[in-house]
Amino acid sequence: MGSEGYLINQFACVSTNQRDDEWGGTFENRIRFSLEIIRAMRRVVGENFIIIYRLSMLDLKQEGSSWSEVVQHAKAIEEAGATIINTGIGWHEVRIPTIASVVPAAAFSWVTKKLKRCITIPLITSNRINTPELAEKCLRDGDADMVSMARPFLADSQFVNKAKNNQSILINKCIACNQGCLDRVFKQQRATCMVNPRAAYETEYPDNKAKRQKTIVIVGLGVAGMSCAYYAAKRGHLVIAYDEANLGGQFNLAAKIPGKEIYAETIRYFEAQLSLLAVDIRRNHKVVFEDLRDMYADAIIFATGVTPKKPNIPGIDHFSVMDYETAINHKAELKNRVAIIGAGGIGFDVAEMLIEADTENTVSRWYEKWGIDIQYKNRGGLLRDVVDHKPERTVYLLQRKDEKLGKNLARTTGWIRRLTLRKAGVNMLSGVSYEKIDDFGLHIVHQGNNETLAVDHVIVCAGQQSENALYEQLRAIGQPVEIIGGAKKAAELDAETAIREGMTLAYKL
């Protein structure tokens, strides 16, 4: 592992190797550590054992390796006895995203291609490659000899078999959320996958049929309901599922946020699987009490999700006020001065949507935004002068708590979201009290000072409330009801928990 800022990478990098002996100083001395490791391994394992060296091809840090040093190091690694070189991108300490969903697909395969013409041993490309088609494109375009994947196999252990059988549509794609894998590891929990909760839980939830087929009714087809319908049908149950609109729930909103477009793939996957399993899906059907009062079912499961919470602020019914669902679904109608009440995950989503330019979000624009020098003229592959393009909109992101905004965002992606808003000039204010909303704007008290934010819109992202009234009605008359997802607990709504609850309940039925 000679990349991502780990020990071997630190020896090679001038900014971290301050030694003045034979292991430091000149570049030849700094890479000696990596070469001695390879030579020692080769002596022990013999000529026929495969040694893969992960080389930091793009440090993405000041005083990182230059391109000529990367090439020199790769040639020395080949000569020392490595069989294959894998691509490492960025140091963990660097504030440039490399594996999150905001990173364009195969965004770093260009650097592997650049090195491929310099050495003779096979090269592997990596980072944000999550479909057979994308892997094939990398190989066809000569970016690399092989493609490295990790998280895609957590998302779908049958990835290769499905690709082999031309069933790409049935692949559960990794959406690079990091919530089930890396975020859990950092909390010392078992690594799994948000979109595939059976990952690393296969023995607790074996892929087998239930002892007796049951009739299961599911109300609501957000991610919790889709998950429950999928696993229940897979276990052999007869599943009837209702939704007042279409499949996806809150994920339909998430997929409209810049950098989260791939969330639509999770909806696509579940829809394809539910069709394959012959689940009776009844779309655009708002279930009422009379529909279920006398219905026979072994279980009626409510996954009816949440509705936006309406805070008690004078003027909350002013024409300038809207909830986050309305704002996301009608972005084109929003004007240029906006205040967002609530700085949780959804508040950040809305802010990111508002600052995104209406122009095409190209990969080259993404490189420019994060200061990545794809010409590799500078050390570490960084642009010397990064120009932040300020958005046309003036955005205020506000919260009542007097603490860092986004404090509870996911560990591996929260910093990206905070940095994105700072770079865009979003006004992020904490410790705010809301006085009133009127024709002059949003009146607040911030740090003891009265202020009026003269905005065109006030978007409310102040939490959600569970949609569970029908569940309570049916429970009262003794129907066999269960409840999962946001309908069960709206506070700190979490898609990973919702999908896992859907699976867990399906195994309990």
pLDDT tens-place values along the chain, 509 residues long: 999 999 999 999 999 999 999 999 999 999 999 999 999 999 999 999 999 999 999 999 988 999 999 999 999 999 999 999 999 999 998 999 999 999 999 999 999 999 999 999 999 999 999 999 999 999 999 999 999 999 999 999 999 999 999 999 999 999 999 999 999 999 999 999 999 999 999 999 999 999 999 999 999 999 999 999 999 999 999 999 999 999 999 999 999 999 999 999 999 999 999 999 999 999 999 999 999 999 899 999 999 999 999 999 999 999 999 999 999 999 999 999 999 999 999 999 999 999 986 555 688 889 998 999 999 999 999 998 766 667 789 999 999 999 999 988 999 999 999 999 999 999 999 999 999 999 999 999 998 899 999 999 999 999 899 999 999 999 999 999 999 999 998 876 789 999 999 999 999 99
Query: Are 336 and 456 in the same domain?
Result: yes
Q: Looking at residue 365, what is its pLDDT?
A: 87
pLDDT attached to residue 494: 87
Name the packing angle between helices 411-423 and 345-355 (round to 10°).
40
Amino acid at 135: A
- Does residue 460 share a domain with residue 330? yes
| The two three-digit tokens of residue 277, written as one number | 């399993």
Q: Are residues 353 and 439 in the same domain?
A: yes
Q: Identify whether residues 261 and 375 lie together within a single domain.
A: no
**How far is the CA of 101 from the CAs of 140, 178, 484, in angstroms?**
24, 9, 26
Cα dist from 254 to 174, 276, 349, 362, 369, whole Å: 15, 25, 8, 20, 22
Pick the closest to residue 118 from 57, 64, 60 (CA basis).
57
Shared domain for 389 and 479, answered yes or no, is no
Which CATH number does the domain housing residue 383 bear? 3.50.50.60
Are 499 and 223 a contacting pair, CB within 8 Å?
Answer: yes
Q: Last residue of some domain: 122, 149, 176?
A: 149
Query: In terms of domains, do 131 and 46 share one?
Result: yes
The answer to whether residue 330 is domain-embedded is: yes
We report the CATH number of the domain holding residue 74 as 3.20.20.70
Written as six digits, the tokens of 365 are 């624009």
Domain ends where: 149, 166, 188? 149
pLDDT in the model for residue 364: 87
What pLDDT sits at residue 392?
83
How many domains does the chain divide into? 3
Residue 358 lies in a domain: yes
Domain-located, residue 199 = no
* Residues 22, 122 share a domain: yes
Both 24 and 132 in one domain: the answer is yes
Q: Is residue 78 within 8 Å of 120, Cβ to Cβ?
A: yes
Catalytic annotation, residues: 6
Nearest to 192 by CA among 209, 174, 206, 210: 174
The whole-angstrom separation of Cα 145 and Cα 493 is 42
d(CA 139, CA 482): 48
Q: What is the dihedral of CA 354, 358, 362, 368, to 10 degrees?
A: -60
- Asked, for residue 118, whether it belongs to a domain, the answer is yes
Q: Looking at the structure, tell me whether residues 490 and 417 fall in a common domain.
A: no
In a domain, 242, yes or no: yes
Residue-number span of the structural domain to which 47 is assigned? 7-149
Domain assignment present for 391: yes
The CA distances from residue 165 to 56, 89, 169, 275, in Å, are 35, 32, 11, 18
**Cβ atoms of 134 and 105 closer than 8 Å:** yes
For the whole prediction, is pTM greater than 0.75?
Answer: yes
Residues 101 and 233 in one domain: no
Of all helices (H) and strands (E), which one includes residue 323? Answer: strand 321-323
Q: Which pLDDT belongs to residue 358? A: 54
Inside any domain, residue 70: yes
Domain containing residue 287: CATH number: 3.40.50.720
Distance, CA of 90 to CA of 66 (rounded, Å): 13
List the beta bridge partners of residue 179.
Answer: none
What was the pLDDT predicted at 340? 97
Residues 326 and 435 in one domain: yes
Q: Encode burial over 15-32: b for 16+ CB neighbours within 10 A, e otherwise.
A: ebbeeeeeeeeebebbbb
Query: Domain ends where: 149, 175, 191?
Result: 149
83 in a structural domain: yes
**323-344 per-residue burial string, b: 16 or more CB within 10 A, e: under 16:** bbbebbeeeeebeeebbbbbbb
Same domain, 136 and 106: yes
